[in-house]
Amino acid sequence: MALTLLLLALAIFLVAGVPISFALLSASVLTLVYLDIAPVIAVQQLAAGINVFSLMAIPFFIFAGDLMYRSGIAEKLLQVADAALGRLQGGLGQVDVGASMLFGAVSGSSIASVSALGSSLMPAMQEKGYDKDYAVNVTCCAAILGVIIPPSHNMIIYAASSGLGISIGDLFLAGIFPGIIAGIALAITAWIIARKRNYPKGVFPGWPAFLKASIIALPGLFTAVIIVVGILGGVFTPTESSAVAIVYTLIVAAFVYRTLTPTTFALACRGAVQTTAIVMMIIGSAAVFGWLLALLHAPTQLAQLVMSISDNPTLVMLMVILVLLILGTFMDMAPLIIITTPIFLPMMMELGVDPVHFGIVLILTLGIGLVTPPVGSVLFVGAAIGDIKIEETVKTIWPFYLALIAALLLTAYIPSLTLFLPSVFQ
């Protein structure tokens, strides 16, 4: 009865439009009162949920991503992608995907990606005759590559939620190939639709122009190299690497590109504080909810239910992916990682699935939820920037969903795509 109350209360709060963090916390407090447990436990569990050292990296990575967005580093990456891919038919769609992959490799934030690239590319696409829905769909779906291409703060949340001491460096490496595959799938889809709609071709500026754009963008791209190589080489921890990313970004923005102003810095600070507060509140509230689920034996019951249907790893993986896709349509990514990791990870490990591999599958699956209504935060931001209704984008976004799901299934059922690089560096 308590578990039913917990889930029903959460559903009612979400339908009523209560923000996700307060919905999780309110449902948890109601259930604690029903169980005659002191509500102060909720406060204690919330504090414990965010009192994790590795989570300190999240505000630093958010700040670094905001600095890159506001200091124009995204524009430099966009110029590289444009020089390389803009000559194709519907080339701006390919540019969008390529720039999102590059920006994801230095910011790790889907919201930052859709904000930075969307504000530049969406108007450019519309000026050249691209439809609004195409511009928004490509930009939003490409933006979620930031959750899987390292560095990604969602991988840090997964590692902390697992309780197994999973290497964040291994997760960073494991996300590289799936991120590239998802990017290629989106680029092909964007090209096919562009040909069907007869969008214009771009003009290749020549190899000297491409080389020049690459050299200019190199200092910004080097952020990802410093982070990943530094962690793998044992130079610094993931948390320290996030602080290094901020210092390096400040140096590049202030002294290399000379785009950092007091106003830009202040806006980045304010944006990072606001985003961090939201993310940490969600993490803390999800920790309370997850603790109650564990107390009520929900993970065990769900595992028994799934295993009663089948103990075939292939089928179980498919069922877990379907459940995560459904959950991702109405809950945000961070709380879902915290809630579902303790539920599904032990079950998948019992079936022989590597925790690093499952982490990438889980993050990519929940990343798709960022562009699926009714709670697709990236889709909302993209639609607002593109000045189009959500209903109009959803009508034509399905080919991009299929591309992402194809990349997801390849990642899920070919473990070497995720485990090859970690095994090499081990």
Secondary structure percentages of the chain, helix, strand, coil, to 5? 80, 0, 20
Instruction: Give me the DSSP letters along 195-231.
Output: HHHTPPB-----HHHHHHHHHHHHHHHHHHHHHHHHH
Residues 146/147/151/152 CA torsion (nearest 10 deg): 140
Residue type, 208: P
At 410 the pLDDT is: 96
134 and 93 Cβ atoms separated by less than 8 Å: yes
Q: If you ran DSSP here, which 8-state letter would residue 89 be given? A: B
Q: Is the pLDDT of residue 199 over 80?
A: yes
Residues 177/181/182/183 CA torsion (nearest 10 deg): 100
User: What are the tokens at 247?
Assistant: 């210092």
**In the chain, domain spans:** 2-9+32-425
- Rounded CA gap, 336 and 363, in Å? 10
Q: If you ran DSSP here, which 8-state letter would residue 252 be given? A: I
Q: Is the pLDDT of residue 386 over 90?
A: no
Backbone angles phi, psi at 201, to 5 degrees: -85, 155
Taking Cα atoms as reference points, which of 81, 182, 93, 178 lies closest to residue 138? 93
Backbone angles phi, psi at 349, to 5 degrees: -65, -35
Q: Rg (Cα) of the chain, in Å, rounded?
A: 21
Residue with tokens 């990791």: 341
* Least confident range of 39-53, 149-163, 374-388, 412-426: 374-388
pTM: 0.83
Distances in Å between the Cα of 5 and the Cα atoms of 42, 68, 144, 153 are 16, 44, 33, 32
DSSP bridge partners of 89? 201
Cα dihedral sign, 334-339-345-348? negative
Distances in Å between the Cα of 242 and the Cα atoms of 21, 65, 160, 262, 279 are 25, 10, 16, 22, 16
Q: Is the pLDDT of residue 108 over 70?
A: no
The string of pLDDT tens digits covering residues 119-135 is 777 877 787 788 888 98
Residue predicted with more confidence, 378 or 412: 412
Residue predicted with more confidence, 137 or 128: 137
Instruction: Give me the DSSP letters along 305-342.
Output: HHHHH---HHHHHHHHHHHHHHHHTTS-HHHHHHHHHH
The string of pLDDT tens digits covering residues 330-353 is 777 888 888 889 889 988 998 899
* Least confident range of 99-103, 137-141, 191-195: 99-103
Q: Is the pLDDT of residue 24 over 70?
A: yes
Residue type, 67: L
Residue 361: which pLDDT band, with cuts at 50, 70 and 90? very high
